[in-house]
Amino acid sequence: MSFLNSISSPSQIYSLYCSPFFSCYRFHSPSFPSLYYRHHGNRRIIREFGFLRDFRGESMVNLGKQKGGFFLDFSACSSRGSTSCSSSEGDKFGSEEEEEEEDVDDVEEGARSICALPERWDVLGLGQAMVDFSGLVDDEFLERLGLEKGTRKVVNHDERGRVLRAMDGCSYKAAAGGSLSNSLVALARLGYKPIRGPALNVAMAGSVGSDPLGGFYRSKLHRANVNFLSEPIKDGTTGTVIVLTTPDAQRTMLAYQGTSSTINYDSCLAGLVSKTNIFVVEGYLFELPDTIKTIIRACEEARRTGALIAVTASDVSCIERHYDDFWEIVRNYTGIVFANSDEARALCHFSSKESPISATRYLSHFVPFVSVTDGPRGSYIGVKGEAVYIPPSPCVPMDTCGAGDAYASGILYGILRGVSDLKGMGTLAARTAATVVGQQGTRLRVQDAVDLEQSFAFNVESSSVGTDVGLDHISSL
């Protein structure tokens, strides 16, 4: 049996996928039978559970899961990825699972984003660009590897390999992950075909390597109508996050930062920031000392050009380690803060006995708009020292990963649409979060986004009670 025919497990696939061998050969594993053809324009796609190539012999890469196993789905590898300050084409084919989720309109959506870049972005996010490997495991699996359930830790290359090898035989999939990208994708889907107003222009800046995972990340965001605009770092290694979810819907996260730990402030990023209405900074970036300088310079440019600046708190331990850095940005630049109850208390230096509503009220004395989620107990929106309670939206939880990210997208969507009803805005955010919690995976599905937006638009038209919290008002506070 040849080496190629012996490849049959996820860790073997991943190892090959990230090695120099990838660029030289194609393989087909007997464990992954299935081959079919598709036509898209002048491109003939041959799909295998091993590799895809078009009629010119170009390799294209996505990594995903399909019924019966795993596959490497090669669409828009970094060799055809976008360059600095530009958008790339990218094939519109993912897994069958994704094609059921993302209909023809979503393919057209992705195509729209590549025609021309807008003069101004509605939202630009600056965050860690990480490929997520999400898997379902039991408590015994975590105990066997010595992992504490519900925590997030940074791992090195060897530790990442050890966990991936242990996951052989488990069900897992790969996605263009990261907390911020989850929010941006959900926002783009909510704003793609709105009843009220034009479609939203959403973009992200960050750091990916010139490796296949970097091409995968860029391609998947483009498909979801989120333009990833940063140039790949030559010879860099794209970061990954392993997300292990147990039956009680708790997630344990292992982050390998790679190139994603370095984001430099350059003319491209400055130009992007100067042309956005809302600039969102992911809190995980505060873990990276050199990147804090980039955040400050980007926030200064955003403030100079009139953009509203939002910060996601992201992680309690990150706040505790970089408390002064967080508050420098929050106090001097920020118009919106997104946090869960624990993160909000950490920002306030409150004990765990303090209520989320107290933390919300406190933060709203320093930040014009504060969003604090409290899991199944609901959420709060704080404005001018007051807090509005938002009841939770009912759901049967399957996976809590991405709930806060989805909630943030609903808030951003309401602000961009000029909504003045805090309750209505919070209700959309809570329903968006509940939709994601009730499914496996962190991304808001296309049809769910359409349904949510239509319901939201109807309720906004019917509502006459509100508080002025539109984009212009928040920016002026």
The span from the CA of 341 to the CA of 345, in Å, is 6
**What is the gyration radius of the CA atoms in the chain, in angstroms?**
21
- Is pLDDT at 165 greater than 60 in this prediction? yes
Provide the CATH number for the domain around residue 296: 3.40.1190.20
Query: How confident is the model at residue 60, as a pLDDT?
Result: 34
Question: DSSP character for 325?
Answer: H
Q: What is the pLDDT of residue 78?
A: 30
Per DSSP, the three-state class of 285 is helix
Confidence of residue 460 (pLDDT cuts 50, 70, 90): low
| The pLDDT value given to residue 242 | 92
pLDDT at 359: 97
Looking at residue 439, what is its pLDDT?
82
**Rounded distance between C-alpha atoms, residue 67 and residue 240, angstroms:** 24
- Domain ranges, residue 300: 121-129+178-237+259-461
Q: DSSP 3-state assignment of 335?
A: coil
Burial bucket for residue 323 (CB in 10 Å: 0-12, 13-18, 19+): middle
CA 221, CA 203: separation in Å to the nearest integer? 9
**Does the reported pTM lie above 0.85?**
no
Number of domains in the chain: 1
Tell me whether residue 152 is in a domain. Answer: no
Evaluate if residue 44 carries a pLDDT over 70: no
Tens digit of each residue's pLDDT (9 = 90 or more) over 341-352:
999 999 999 999
Residue 100's pLDDT is 35
Distance CA 27, CA 49 (A): 9
pLDDT surpassing 70 at residue 87 = no
- The pLDDT of 430-457, averaged and rounded, is 82
119 neighbors 89 (Cβ within 8 angstroms)? no
- Of 66-70, 153-157, 225-229, 286-290, give the lowest mean pLDDT range: 66-70
* CA dist., res. 127 & res. 464, Å (int): 37
How much of the chain, in percent, has pLDDT values that exceed 90? 45
Owner of token pair 């919290």: 469
Q: Give the pLDDT confidence of 101-119 residue by residue, as tens digits.
A: 433 334 334 444 445 788 9
Question: What is the per-residue pLDDT across 215-273, written as a single tens digit (0 to 9) for each?
Answer: 999 999 999 999 999 999 998 889 998 989 899 878 899 999 888 878 999 999 999 99
Instruction: State yes or no: pLDDT of 459 exceeds 70.
Output: no
Q: Give the pLDDT confidence of 390-406 residue by residue, as tens digits.
A: 999 888 777 777 888 99
Whether residue 245 is contained in a domain is answered as no
Tell me, yes or no, whether 392 lies in a domain: yes
Q: What is the mean pLDDT of residues 274-292?
A: 92
Residue 363 lies in a domain: yes
Per-residue H/E/C for 152-213? EEECCHHHHHHHHHHCCCCCEEEEEECHHHHHHHHHHHHCCCCCCCCCCCEEEECCCECCHH
Does residue 47 surpass a pLDDT of 50? no
Please say if the pLDDT value at position 39 is more than 50.
Answer: no
For 178, the token pair is 């990261």
SS3 58: coil
Q: 387 versus 99: which is more confidently predicted?
A: 387
Of the pLDDT bands very low, low, confident and very high (cuts 50, 70, 90), residue 195 is low
In a domain, 187, yes or no: yes
Residue 325: predicted pLDDT: 96
Residue 59 CA to residue 48 CA, distance in Å, equals 12
pLDDT at 446: 84
Q: Do the domain assignments include residue 376? A: yes
The answer to the question of residue 469 being in a domain is: no
* Position 140 confidence tier, pLDDT thresholds 50, 70, 90: very high
What average pLDDT does the structure give for the chain? 76
